[in-house]
Chains A and B, each alone.
Chain A
């Protein structure tokens, strides 16, 4: 654990990419192979099973810290990270512990057949033998919230440097359904990857936004400048569903979401068409809810995502289908290096042969001959229940990760309203101890009705100013939430709007965020609930 804790600390101590890679390489070359695989598992979101829930951890941590529970709660508000709060509050320890990462994870996984009393004893003992940095990392393991200031790309880069394998190959090999207990380092780095994991997906190719950082749109001329001639490009609607990779190999099917979650069981409607595909087929596409042959807004799909059990009612209310847009493997061969046009032909061939055309749909190509024309077509996105348009270079291979150049998303402008900030809460991580999470309201008569929360969109300097305002203009405190004097007005952007029975305002927004601070607007001039309802488009 010492080496792993040191890795965490060293990564925290630098903002420079090269140094982070160096730190990662130092770690890889100094720990046993099993530790390497456990580290990779953790850094790619594969967490150990949790046998101690957060209520238990919290309760026992309060006991170990010897402070009243309310003070623990307030400390957490200040620190903004539970694992760190617990590490800071417990008394310093003199004893040490030589267990490595592999041993710790094994102990964690071994808690399954222990009683609650034994688990508590184990946890208290463990805390007592770790120093505060180790304890912090250990708590991260326990709570399963393992976000480090380092992207998977950097880990891959470090590993690629050491193993002399290329990054795309390694990215592919650490995808899918592996366990650090059984997938060995030797298997990972062998020269020709004879993968025995038939469920393994390919890394997703992700589009780059045309608008880049600004929310302001590009003209046809700018598109020409950015992308060249329109006839080099294939255009499709940008669907707002769940990006998924669907695999049929050796008579088995697998559905992977972009977050690398195996979601096969969540979409039973897709099983018949997948089972009917030829072995050695991998399709990339978007899963959406459909009704009467038309896609439904994302919030319909959202209602069934988090469910453990899919009831008959849910399956009836929100039946899904796939809009397929790419084929990555065909007849058992990896065809990612073929051109977009070639892969599209293969995909069309597969779709033409299906007995389930209502479930296995094709993402239609948009006919256009100029950027001007496409810009006009794009205006219909909302009517198509799409987020905008996707552009794919006809000659492009299917690449790994988010790459600038061959795949672009050209989203429509967000909808927006001007709203008044009424509640604020402190943020987490880098925003700990600063008020960064805000609730916004619009007018309903002479009352302000909350309708959205937003966390992003302001610069650090603006956040400081808003934080300063909040601390001086708090009307009431409810636990961590402050009621703020209604005064500051912000323009709130969002991708979609739907009716909701769960929200007081009767509406729910998709991707709300702050577009800008309206210093020029007094709160009286903020928008009304009626103006939001008008956007429902009914």
Chain B
């Protein structure tokens, strides 16, 4: 019988039989290593969690009382003779690639990642390995990102012109990752930043974790609408089109997502402005990341896996598609709303702890 691979793909998640632990499992297990705190990677119900230090407060906020061990990037943890270490993935604050080593064989699970330095997440660091398990959410050559400096120049100009036209400005992005990335790149000389409760809860968790974020003000029923409409409102995707959003008077709403690269997707969202800003790697980023690992074998977990696998094989990599529940298969990555199974929770619950099942479905294919 051939040697059992160090990591295998099971119906619970990525499994290391030797070390008896799972990586980002989607069904309850004893021992889970978590790449990052987005809901399709960090599920509720495991007995023990291992994650990066900067994911700590967000995980506790989202999953409640869990048994959680956190580590620094590069710190080594042994499980049943298998060495585990985390390396920056650059996806969101605290996101990590998981490096697994046993008897000289090295596997890396990228989780979600991006190659551009966004200024707040620890930048992506390529890790040499034999086997590389990774995502290709934007694994089509039509996705090519511009540097974020250019995108934020557009965002700030749009905010200024809304102010000039007497409109409120609502900018939409996921509450963990995109929201903070936007927050840190706004030109605060224009005005103040107001936040939807869901986003502010995440901000608070990150601040408890020692992350320095620009000042924000939570929107409450007592907020002065006129003041708020002069600032910029940071809102999660679930708030689009709700009465909550309409109460700020005439507004222009901008959507920050990699999907905004396509006109069709932009028109479906019916956003006034679509800003092409993603926390995932673009086509060139994906290829350069794989190249930098020097790996023998690539496994694609989610995104345009069929297309990307074929292309990688054509240019000389040994690539395979694998089935996972991360983001799901190819096209589910661009629905007009999160796939069934969970939505970002709505305003009424914004100040409460999150229920285990109704997590904020960040990165469930959409970013």
Contact = CB atoms under 8 A, between A and B. Distances in A.
Interface of A: 12-15, 65, 67-68, 70-71, 74-75, 78-81, 84-85, 88-89, 92, 149, 428-435, 460, 464, 467-468, 471-472
Interface stretch (B19-27, B114-122, B329-337): B329-337
B247 interface: no
A398 to B, nearest CB: 35
Contacts of B297: none
A292 B51 CA distance: 83
B273 A85 contact: no
Given A74-B140, A79-B142, A429-B264, A471 B307 contact: no
A75 B142 CA distance: 7
Q: Would you list the 10 A-B pairs with minimal beta carbon distance, nearest first?
A: A432-B264, A88-B142, A430-B267, A75-B142, A74-B307, A433-B334, A80-B264, A471-B331, A430-B264, A78-B140
Contacts of B142: 75, 78-79, 85, 88-89
Contacts of B266: 12
Given A430-B268, A471-B330, A12 B307 contact: no
A71 B330 contact: no
Given A433-B265, A464-B336, 11 more contacts: A12-B263, A12-B267, A74-B140, A79-B262, A88-B142, A88-B262, A432-B264, A433-B262, A460-B336, A468-B340, A471-B331
Interface of B: 140-144, 261-268, 270, 272-273, 304, 307, 310-311, 314, 328-332, 334-337, 339-340
Contacts of A75: 140-142
Nearest to A19: B272
A81 B262 CA distance: 10
Contacts of A435: 331
A433 B264 contact: yes
Given A71-B307, A84-B262, A468-B340, A14 B140 contact: no
A464 B339 CA distance: 9
A19 to B, nearest CB: 9
15 contacts: A71-B141, A74-B140, A78-B140, A79-B264, A80-B264, A429-B264, A431-B268, A433-B264, A435-B331, A464-B335, A464-B336, A467-B331, A467-B335, A468-B339, A471-B332
A88 B144 contact: yes
B329 A81 contact: no
Contacts of B270: 15
A88 B263 CA distance: 11
A15 B240 CA distance: 15
A21 to B, nearest CB: 15
A81 B330 contact: no
Contacts of A429: 263-264, 267
Contacts of B332: 468, 471
B335 to A, nearest CB: 6
Contacts of A431: 264, 268
> Which interface residue of A12, A13, A84 has the most chain B CB atoms within 10 A?
A13
B267 A149 contact: yes
Contacts of B335: 434, 464, 467-468
B116 to A, nearest CB: 15
A356 to B, nearest CB: 49
Contacts of A92: 144
A12 B337 CA distance: 21
B147 to A, nearest CB: 11
A504 to B, nearest CB: 28
A176 B237 CA distance: 47
Nearest to A86: B142
Contacts of A467: 331, 335
A464 B334 CA distance: 10
A92 B284 CA distance: 13
B273 A432 contact: no
A432 B334 CA distance: 10
Nearest to B254: A13
Contacts of B272: 13-15
B311 A71 contact: yes
Contacts of A14: 272
B141 A67 contact: yes
Contacts of B267: 12, 149, 429-430
A434 B273 CA distance: 21
A89 B261 CA distance: 12
Contacts of A432: 262-265
Nearest to B266: A12
A71 B287 CA distance: 15
A14 B252 CA distance: 9
A89 B340 CA distance: 32
Contacts of A88: 141-144, 261-262
A244 B344 CA distance: 53
Nearest to A136: B263
A468 B334 CA distance: 11
Contacts of B268: 430-431, 434, 460
B61 to A, nearest CB: 29
A339 to B, nearest CB: 43
B331 A89 contact: no
Contacts of B263: 12, 81, 84, 429, 432
A69 B69 CA distance: 49
Contacts of B331: 433-435, 467, 471
Contacts of A85: 142
A68 B141 CA distance: 11
A92 B267 CA distance: 24
A227 to B, nearest CB: 35
A29 to B, nearest CB: 19
Nearest to A470: B331
Contacts of B339: 468
Contacts of A472: 329
Contacts of B261: 88
A339 B23 CA distance: 78
Contacts of A84: 262-263
Contacts of B140: 74-75, 78
